[in-house]
């Protein structure tokens, strides 16, 4: 390992150890396409340099392998996230609410939740409140009005984000998921619905990108 100005040169990867200072959170490791050994070397470089550790799209076998070298590493199997909890990180004051339409959307919602928690946010979940049974959602209006930022995760036609935004003052970050039948086109229908929302104040991330939504919500909450 060669330490250069602002990054560790591992030959196969240049680990950005300056990002926490620049952005407020360390470089996040996207695991697919990397070997287990490569992920371990990157993770250890981050830990040695007092960086936060968040590993996205990490499978269970990868977690088991890394756990031997990083005993305190935690894992959320639904979100496929490996992470170390922050030490003595002050929780941001605002409440971030993560809302998902159906139980099939929970893995993506959990990716947003864990990302937010690791970044030091106060988070609450509101699951299975999609528009097919809108009375379930309306029952929690007081909770939605307390949130500083709301992440809305939905597949199928993705209508929930517009409904939430139309009722709440908080900015909404919409996450389309790939849940749905054939004409859902792997999440494209939900993505287009969210992009075409007539309710102002909705930002949209990519399909199934719970991590991106959680990161953006944390920046807003900061």
Say yes or no to pLDDT of 9 above 60: yes
Per-residue model confidence as pLDDT tens digits over 122-165: 999 999 877 767 888 777 888 888 899 999 998 887 788 888 98
Nearest to 194 by CA among 218, 177, 211: 177
**16 versus 151: which is more confidently predicted?**
151
Is residue 66 within 8 Å of 53, Cβ to Cβ?
A: no
Q: How far apart are CA 81 and CA 59, in angstroms?
A: 8
Average pLDDT, rounded, for the chain: 87
CB atoms within 10 A of CB 3: 13
From the options 3.40.50.1970, 3.40.50.300, 3.40.50.200, 3.40.605.10, give the CATH code of 95-221. 3.40.50.1970
Every domain range in the chain assigned CATH 3.40.50.1970: 95-221
**57 versus 143: which is more confidently predicted?**
57
Is residue 131 within 8 Å of 163, Cβ to Cβ?
A: yes
DSSP at 16: E
The pLDDT of residue 180 is: 79
Residue 186: pLDDT band with limits 50, 70, 90: confident
Residue 24: pLDDT band with limits 50, 70, 90: confident
Phi-psi region of 24 (alpha: psi -120 to 50; beta: other; left: phi over 0): left
Cα four-point dihedral sign 130, 135, 138, 139: negative
The pLDDT of residue 3 is: 59
Per-residue model confidence as pLDDT tens digits over 64-87: 999 998 889 999 999 999 998 766
Nearest to 85 by CA among 63, 118, 119, 130: 118
The pLDDT of residue 2 is: 53
Degrees to nearest 5, angle at CA 195 with 194 and 196: 90
Residue 12: pLDDT band with limits 50, 70, 90: confident
């Amino acid at each position: 390992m060669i330490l250069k100005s602002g990054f560790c040169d591992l030959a196969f990867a240049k680990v950005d150890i300056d990002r926490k200072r620049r952005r407020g959170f360390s470089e996040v490791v996207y695991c697919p396409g990397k070997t287990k050994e490569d992920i371990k070397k990157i993770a250890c470089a981050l830990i040695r340099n007092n960086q936060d550790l968040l590993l996205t799209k990490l499978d269970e076998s990868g977690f088991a392998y890394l756990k031997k070298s990083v005993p305190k590493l935690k894992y959320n199997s639904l979100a496929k996230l490996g992470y170390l909890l922050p030490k003595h990180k002050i929780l941001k004051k605002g409440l971030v609410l993560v809302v998902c339409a159906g139980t099939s959307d929970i893995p993506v919602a959990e990716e947003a939740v864990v990302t937010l928690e690791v970044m030091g946010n106060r988070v609450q979940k509101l699951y299975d409140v999609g528009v097919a049974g809108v009375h379930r959602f309306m029952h929690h209006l007081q909770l939605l009005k307390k949130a500083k930022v709301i992440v809305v995760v939905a597949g199928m036609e993705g209508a929930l984000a517009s409904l939430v935004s139309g009722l709440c003052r908080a900015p909404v970050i919409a996450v389309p998921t790939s849940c749905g039948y054939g004409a859902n086109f792997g999440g494209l229908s939900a993505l287009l619905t969210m992009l075409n929302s007539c309710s102002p104040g909705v930002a949209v991330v990519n399909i199934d990108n719970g991590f991106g939504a959680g990161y953006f919500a944390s920046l807003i909450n900061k």
